[in-house]
Structure 1
Amino acid sequence: MRRLAALLLLLLLPACYQVEGDTVPAAASIRVDGVKDGRYRRPDGVEVRVTWNAAEKQYDVATKDGPTGKARAARLAPGLFLVQYADAARLTLMAAPKGDDVALFFATKEVEPRLLKAHGLGLKPGPINALTGPARAVADFFKDLAASGDFKEGERLVYLGS
């Protein structure tokens, strides 16, 4: 399971950051209109099943071999969401439904340093860049990123059906 999580992390590098705290608390987590329960193909070709878990207010993510993690979402702007994915590591990224798929977004290289400084965050380079600082500051970083429009669409989770 750790190898699978590591592979997912490597494929989403430009779109996500590793973080320490909960950037999307359970109380703030919502079901995203337009994200269907069902099978999705990740950018690496691996098929996952995504299912809304109403009791826990989060998405359960699994492969045919079993559970791989949990995801929570909170609205950043109309149609744009902050997503926290947790398994062997905790990742935070921006995403939006695009048709039946889910598009992942990343900060442009021009805006990233400015927003890091504005929110008192550090950036620890690694296989997956880590944002260092309080979870609230990380969430605010993404709110300002969404408001700025200085982000680009990256890979997609492609919906395969139910």
Structure 2
Amino acid sequence: MGERGMLRVLGVLVLLVAATGCARGEACAGWGTVAGVGVMFRQAGHGDLTGAVAELCARGECVRSRLREEEITRVNLRLPEDVDPDAGPVRLRVTAAGAARPVIDASATVPLTLRSDGCGGGSYHRGLALTGDGVLTTKIPRSLAEDWAAQVRGRATAPSR
């Protein structure tokens, strides 16, 4: 191959790297993804959850966190990047402060879905919602997602105290 041919090949490679955002030794210019499970729910209808603790478990991993006073709560559990995407149990328990038994105890068996990173990779995750009937579902109501997003935006723009 002549010098001109080599320059063409090099030019094509440079264009491919620029177009994909990926270069050897550099991070992808796509977006980061994290393997995990998240559950959203409205606190209304579950009594006083001030100081309550949520426990979310999936794939042999669990996370516990104290609930904030907010209309909609989102609990996230990070999973190992090599997590098995096949259907498995997810369980959410919320126990009010000082209570012996959970106010919320819901579980579902769900598969994880691949979230692309925009560069040919990604990680497995699943978003769920707790319905008013106390059922975990993979069909997150649009109103719940929109209200949660508005709550996050409001928190980001609220004056600091």
**Shorter-chain TM-score range:** under 0.3
Structure showing greater radius of gyration is 2
Which structure carries more strand by proportion? 1
TM-score by length of 1: 0.24
TM-score by length of 2: 0.24
With a CA cutoff of 8 Å and minimum separation of 6, indicate the structure with the bigger relative contact order.
1
